[in-house]
Amino acid sequence: MDLGTLCQQALRDYVRFIRLAPRPADADKKNVTLWLALLLIQDTQADRARAAMESSLAQQRTSVQRQAKAAGASMAPWTPPTASAPRESQFDESQSVMFKPLCDPVPQPELADMIDSAANKNGVNPSIVREVARQESGFRPCVVSPAGAQGLMQLMPATQDQFKVIDPFNPMASLDAGTKLLKQLLDRYHGDLSLALSAYNAGAGTVDKAGGIPQIPETQNYVANILGRLNQ
C-alpha cells in the first residue's frame, strides 16, 4: 500500500475516532494541526509522483530526439495540414492501388478510443501507434498497397496469418494486430524505436542484415517522419 493510500485511510480512521471520542477544550486546535500535517504528507507524495512522471517523460523525449536525429529527421515541429492541404497524414495516396480511397478516415473520437485500447492491451505507447497508423494509411481502413498490405495498419498477409486477423479492413482488428507487431519489434530491438519502425516498414530481416536503419530512402523517410512528429 503506498503512502497516499495510507494517509487517506488514516484520515478516515481519525475522523471516525474524533466523532466518537470525548474531546477537551483544546481538542479542536490539535485536530486542525493533525489534519494539516496529514494533508502536507499527501501533497508531498503527490509532488514526488509528479516529479517522477516529469522525469520519465523528459527521458523519453530525449530518447526520441536522439533517435530522430540519428534517422535524419528534422527537429522542427510538425505542422498539421491546412485547409488547402486536407490530408491529415504523411500517407501518399499515389502509392496505393486506390488513388482515390473508397473510404474516409476513421473519426477521431472513435479512433482515439481504439488506439488507446490496442496500446494499453499490448503495452505500447499510444502516440507511437497513432503515428504509425497515420503514416501507413492516413487513418483510412480500406487502403491497399501495391505490395499487398491492407487496412489501417497496412498488414501484410503473413502478419494477418500470424495474428489470426479475419478482416484486415476492420479498424480495431488492424490496430490490435499492428500494435502486437510493434510490441514484438520493440522487444526484439530492446526498445530502439528507430529500428522497430524500420522493421515495421522494411521487415526485421532487412534491418538485421543492414545492422541498423536500412539504406532505403522509403524506410529512412518513414522513420524520420514518424520520429519527427513524435518529437514535436
Active site residues: 136
Which region, left, alpha or beta, applies to residue 217 given φ > 0 means left and ψ of -120 to 50 means alpha?
alpha
Q: Answer yes or no: are the C-beta atoms of 41 and 7 closer than 8 Å.
A: yes
Long-range contacts of residues 217-223, Cβ cutoff 8 Å, at least 24 apart: 220/71, 220/72, 222/135, 222/197, 222/198, 223/71, 223/73, 223/194, 223/197, 223/198
CA 92 to chain centre: 23
